[in-house]
Amino acid sequence: VNQGRSQTDNATNGRKGLVQYYDQLANHYDESRFATSYGRYLDAQERRVLRRWLSPFQGGTILDLACGTGRLLDLATHGIDASESMIHLARHKHPHKQLRCIEAGRITELPTSFDAIFCLHFFMHLRPAQIADVISITLSRLRPGGVLIFDVPSSQRRNLTGFRPGGWHAGTALNCPDVRALAGHRWLFKAMHGVLFFPIHRFPEKIRPFVRPLDDLLGASALARISSYVLYCLERRT
């Protein structure tokens, strides 16, 4: 029992630590993560995939889960995030979106059900069992036929490169069979797409925009699974 309790305490402390980290980072998040040439490259790649996968749901309800400062909220109608500071900035940027400061586990309290839910740069912070919990919770808020889109660092890529980040920050990496196993049988596996196939941080800034179309193509090929991050699209079975 004690071991069970200490695991629960660790998970709660881990969650609080993660939210505190983003509370403190909020004012610098956009500038440090996505205003750089690397950040713009990744943002453009992710948007391209999101736009395509969300296109059947235009005019519907779309939730950006862990929306942060609202980087991708132009593609959603609703957003939630556990950090007050991050969502404060999101509200400022997107005053007409429906935004709530709640934990992912509390989306069952939202009065809306969604045609699509997307969740970027969040699962990398969670342990596999926590990812399975979040995936399972989203199922209850999605309409039948609705989709869940998320990204996870590729474990196959990390095996190839030997890159092993320490701690919780981007500590989790998965492969496609892991994702299928975590999601379980209530989902239809619709699509996957890789981003950052190239180690773009090693390329001179000037050539990065010219490399991106090839990176996009490789992300749609069988090599997707060894891109740095893989986006997945799961459909709720009816």
Ligand X SMILES: C[S@@+](CC[C@H](N)C(=O)[O-])C[C@H]1O[C@@H](n2cnc3c(N)ncnc32)[C@H](O)[C@@H]1O
| Contacts of 103 by beta carbon, 8 Å cutoff, 6+ apart | 15, 82
- Angle between helix 84-93 and 2-29 (nearest 10): 40
Stretch that binds ligand X, among 63-71, 138-146, 157-165, 200-208 (CB under 6 A): 63-71
CB of 52 or CB of 237, closer to ligand X = 52
CB of 204: closest distance to ligand X in angstroms? Answer: 25
Site string for ligand X, 81-100 (x = CB under 6 A): xxx--x--------------
Q: Is 45 in the site for ligand X (CB under 6 A)?
A: no
CB of 118 or CB of 197, closer to ligand X = 118
Distance (Å) of CA 194 to CA 11, 19, 182, 213:
29, 27, 19, 13
Among 121, 141, 157, 193, binds ligand X (CB under 6 A): 121
Whole-angstrom distance, CA of residue 63 vs CA of residue 75:
9
Among 11, 14, 18, 100, binds ligand X (CB under 6 A): 18
CB of 29: closest distance to ligand X in angstroms? Answer: 7
Whole-angstrom distance, CA of residue 67 vs CA of residue 22:
12
How many residues bind to ligand X according to rule CB under 6 A? 18
Residue with tokens 């996870």, as numbered in its chain: 152
Stretch that binds ligand X, among 117-125, 183-191, 201-209, 210-218 (CB under 6 A): 117-125
Stretch that binds ligand X, among 17-25, 194-202, 209-217, 230-238 (CB under 6 A): 17-25
Which amino acid type is present at position 32? S
C-beta of residue 202 within 8 angstroms of C-beta of residue 194:
no
Phi, psi for residue 197 in degrees, rounded to 5: -65, -45
| Contacts of 64 by beta carbon, 8 Å cutoff, 6+ apart | 70, 72, 73, 75, 76, 78, 79, 80, 118, 119
CB of 25 or CB of 191, closer to ligand X = 25
Whole-angstrom distance, CA of residue 55 vs CA of residue 227:
24
Stretch that binds ligand X, among 75-83, 109-117, 174-182, 206-214 (CB under 6 A): 75-83
Q: Is 122 in the site for ligand X (CB under 6 A)?
A: yes
Q: 138: part of which helix (H) or strand (E)?
A: helix 128-141
Q: Is 19 in the site for ligand X (CB under 6 A)?
A: yes
Q: 231: part of which helix (H) or strand (E)?
A: strand 229-236
Stretch that binds ligand X, among 5-13, 61-69, 156-164, 182-190 (CB under 6 A): 61-69
Q: Given the rule CB under 6 A, which residues bind ligand X?
A: 15, 18-19, 22, 66-68, 71-72, 81-83, 86, 103-104, 120-122
